[in-house]
Amino acid sequence: LWQTTAVPCVKSCASNLNFACSRRRMFGLFVIANDSVFCFCFSVQDFLKQGESKSARCDELKSLITKGCSKAKIENPRGSISIDKDKPVTNRKKDVAEKLKPDQITQIQPQKLSLNLRSGEAQTFKLKFKRAEDYPIDLYYLMDLSFSMKDDLENVKNLGTDLMREMQEITSDFKIGFGSFVEKTVMPYISTTPARLLNPCTSNENCTSPFSYKNVLKLTENGQQFNSLVSKQQISGNLDSPEGGFDAIMQVAVCGDAIGWRNVTRLLVFSTDAGFHFAGDGKLGGIVLPNDGKCHLENNMYTMSHYYDYPSIAHLVQKLSDNNIQTIFAVTEEFQPVYKELKNLIPKSAVGTLSSNSSNVIKLIIDSYNSLSSEVILENNKVPEGVSIKYKSICKNGVVGTGENGRKCSNISIGDEVSFDITIESQKCPSQGKSETIRIKPLGFNEDVEIVLNFICECECSKGGEPLSKICHNGNGTFECGACRCNEGRIGRLCECSTDEVRTDDLDGNCRKDNGTDICSNNGDCVCGTCECKKRENPEERYSGKFCDCDNFNCDRSNNKLCGGHGRCECRVCICDANYTGSACDCSLDTSTCLAANKQICNGRGTCECGVCKCTNPKFQGPTCEICPTCPGVCAEHKECVQCRAFETGEKKDTCQRDCSYFNLIRVKDRDKLPQPADQSYPLSHCKERDCPAGPDIIPIVAGVVAGIVLIGLALLLIWKLLMIIHDRREFAKFEKEKMNAKWDTVSLLLVISELIHPAFLLRQSQEIHLIALVICAKTNRYICALVISLATSPVLCQQWQHRNLALSRC
């Protein structure tokens, strides 16, 4: 499509079948646009027919050839990638005598590429990263020197040599520096009375004057020098709890020459036991100018703290990232939550818990460095409008990350190599069409990848245009790519009309269909007697035709898709794909869904319409017309005829010849020999011998019922017996318990016995004595029982006892 009527050079096709082109303009030319399928521009002068839209110059290759355009005249430029600098990754060995300089170490490959981008066509390249061994490190220790850090300063005084010794295990090229900060030197952050400006501390403490930030020691390899200078530092003081550390961090980040940063790993250790001021807090001291992010050191002192506000967190993030500085926050336990939130906002930063006197600072630094160096995170600078970048990481052990996780890899050891697939795509040509450069780098490292983006925005044929061509109405335009690019003030396919001329009725009449009243069907403008169709916001939708009376977006829809997604819309009519029909291409001609188990379409009882069976006989239903709920069944329907034909029995035996001659009779010996037809014909068959189902066997049924009753009765008896046994045992146990708990009075019992067994009474009352003795034996011990027996002098009574064996058995 065209931005104006100037130059019909390049188009873009939105999809395989819908040849909608979108406007793209670059330097007055119309260039290749988007959406990744086919885009062709060609230099054929008389390709377009009368009334045909200029967008017809963009089409699929086959369509262009069919319309008469030769392949030699068709341009289809493609995107490409060229690697301009591809130095392999290196590894600096600690045991090698000759040391490489930092700028000789390569951890990222390639280093420079050029991409030729065609709109809608993505280009992908692979970026490798390898963590080098013995990579140089610069560490700057930035310390809070407010009064609360007095004991911490004593432990830091020997930090230089101790840290140097520990870092030798990691790198042989290590530098250390030192800086300190307190607060802005204005009220209400400090006391501005003359005495407090000289000594801000109370009681008899000797403190130095307050200051904002001081660069005490530039980065050096001399650990003794670090110890010497730090030991001379004095504590200062301020009034409020939050400190002015952000001012100090900003100066450390932007004052590279004063700090002595090299293009190596840069670590900033920020040590404090308090919170921080940030942008806006300066208004309390009358400071309203935002921080400018520039270096303001004079004699290693920050001189503009009273003039510029504290920097914002976002400003710090930008400057730390721009200068490849990784921050380690060494803070006390009390302020851990605050600085952990800050860490989440600053990429490539870490937080460590500082002991109350900073005695663990070396371990904190080593652990934080190992954590930071084991992770690589890619970032890119601002990309041009319409350009997008996607990352895919292939990390250690083949772990793949996409989306935001595609930018980073973790747990990278020294010597490990990871890679990233980076995809860059342009959706449109930039407004000026010139090349753009973007950079991708791993956070915290000084290396990056330079990517030059060249945009394919015009055809090669436009470079050989003929200015003031006679073809373009006697020199009113430039003839290029088979069409005219009109000069200013001229319009029309051949620049034959002037924009100053008034349209006449005759010209407008050429733009009315069938002498109607609507010019170009209200879908375009009449230019020089030719309809120029309107352009829609959606580049895939277009008007076409001599009178702009056709379009490719007003066809019937199915499932909310134009032409059901199975065709293309041409002049408001769906042109369906193969095997589809209908006004919305929603009717499939595929009959595989209508095939029954017997391989017949709808079991021969219906037709397949749009992939669904339509049963011709209303009594049949189901997906393949296989169900007949009201049918009596084939055997029941033909039973009488089979009986009369096979056995000369049944109700129709007298009219068998007349009523039952419509089928062939097949005789088989048994049911298994019955033929199985492949179609829906039902040849009637019968067996020579009757195969009737036998009746039920009564004896097993009766026997089973009786056996069940007997078994149930026995089970009930067993259960009853078990319950009785349990009951008897409980009663016996209860009796035994009562017997053990019984107590008797021995004296009174003996008296009763003596009275009962008087000799004169024994002869007369032998039966009573027997009973009493029996009761006594049952209720008392053996001693009393023996006494009763010894007193029993009656021979008759003894004989009775021996005969019955009652008293003896009890005793």
Q: Are 113 and 84 in contact (CB under 8 A)?
A: yes
Tell how strand 25-26 and strand 265-272 pair up: unpaired
Q: CA-CA distance, 490 to 472, in Å (whole number)?
A: 10
Residue 465 pLDDT class (50, 70, 90 cuts): confident
Residue 13 pLDDT class (50, 70, 90 cuts): very low
Task: Report pLDDT digits (tens) over 326-371.
Answer: 999 999 888 999 999 999 999 889 999 888 767 788 888 998 998 8
Q: Are 420 and 137 in contact (CB under 8 A)?
A: no
213: its two tokens:
């930030």
Written as one string, the DSSP assignment of 644-699 is: HHHHS-STTSSSHHHHS-SS--EEESSGGG----SSS----EEESS--PPP---HH
Highest mean pLDDT among 127-136, 465-474, 801-810: 127-136
Task: Report pLDDT digits (tens) over 570-629.
Answer: 999 999 998 899 999 999 988 888 988 878 889 888 899 988 999 988 888 888 898 888
Residue 519 pLDDT class (50, 70, 90 cuts): confident
Q: CA-CA distance, 202 to 209, in Å (whole number)?
A: 13
In this model, does residue 490 exceed pLDDT 90?
A: no
Cis peptide before 188 (omega within 30 of 0): yes
Strands (E), 299-386: 301-302, 325-331, 349-353, 376-380
Q: What is the pLDDT of residue 329?
A: 94
| 743-772 mean pLDDT | 48
Return the closest-CA partner of residue 457 out of 799, 116, 45: 116
Burial readout 532-571 (b: 16 or more C-beta within 10 A, e: otherwise): bbebbeebbbbbbbbbbbbbbeebbbbeeebbbebbbbbe
Residue 671 pLDDT class (50, 70, 90 cuts): low
Q: CA-CA distance, 89 to 363, in Å (whole number)?
A: 31
Q: Which residues fall within 8 angstroms of residue 476, CB to CB, at 6 or more apart? A: 484, 486, 487, 490, 495, 496
Q: Which residues fall within 8 angstroms of residue 114, CB to CB, at 6 or more apart? A: 81, 82, 84, 451, 452, 454
Please state which of the ranges 49-58, 208-217, 317-326, 720-729 shows the lowest mean pLDDT: 49-58
The one-letter amino acid code at 103 reads D
Tell how strand 174-181 and strand 137-144 pair up: parallel
Domains of the chain plus CATH, in order, are 25-77+460-551 (2.10.25.10), 80-94+101-132+379-455 (2.60.40.1510), 137-374 (3.40.50.410), 557-588 (2.10.25.10), 634-687 (no CATH), 747-811 (no CATH)
Return the closest-CA partner of residue 543 out of 513, 505, 506, 501: 513
Task: Report pLDDT digits (tens) over 535-547.
Answer: 888 888 888 888 8
- C-alpha distances (whole Å) from 741 to each of 731, 735, 737, 784 are 15, 10, 6, 19
Beta bridge partners of 220: 176
Q: What is the pLDDT of residue 666?
A: 77
| Residue position matching structure tokens 């060229």 | 82
Q: CA-CA distance, 220 to 632, in Å (whole number)?
A: 105
Q: How far is CA 25 from the centre of its chain?
A: 38
Q: CA-CA distance, 63 to 18, in Å (whole number)?
A: 12
Task: Report pLDDT digits (tens) over 274-297.
Answer: 899 999 999 988 999 999 999 999
